[in-house]
Amino acid sequence: MASITFKGSPVTLVGNEVKVGKQAPDFTVLTNSLGEVSLSDLAGKVTIISVIPSIDTGVCDAQTRRFNEEASGLGPVNIYTISADLPFAQARWCGANGIENVETLSDHRDMSFGEAFGVYMKELRLLARAVFVLDPHGKVVYTEYVSEATNHPNYEKAIEAAKSLL
> Given this model, what pLDDT does residue 72 score?
84
Q: Which residues are catalytic?
A: 60
d(CA 102, CA 72): 10
Task: Say how many C-beta atoms besides its own lie within 10 A of residue 124's C-beta.
Answer: 16
Tens-digit pLDDT profile for residues 98-155? 999 999 999 999 999 999 999 999 999 999 999 999 999 999 999 999 999 999 999 9
d(CA 123, CA 125): 6
Give 143's strand partners.
Answer: 132
pLDDT of residue 1 exceeding 80, the answer is no
d(CA 98, CA 84): 21
Task: Say how many C-beta atoms besides its own lie within 10 A of residue 75's C-beta.
Answer: 11
Tens-digit pLDDT profile for residues 47-91? 999 999 999 999 999 999 999 999 988 989 999 999 999 999 999
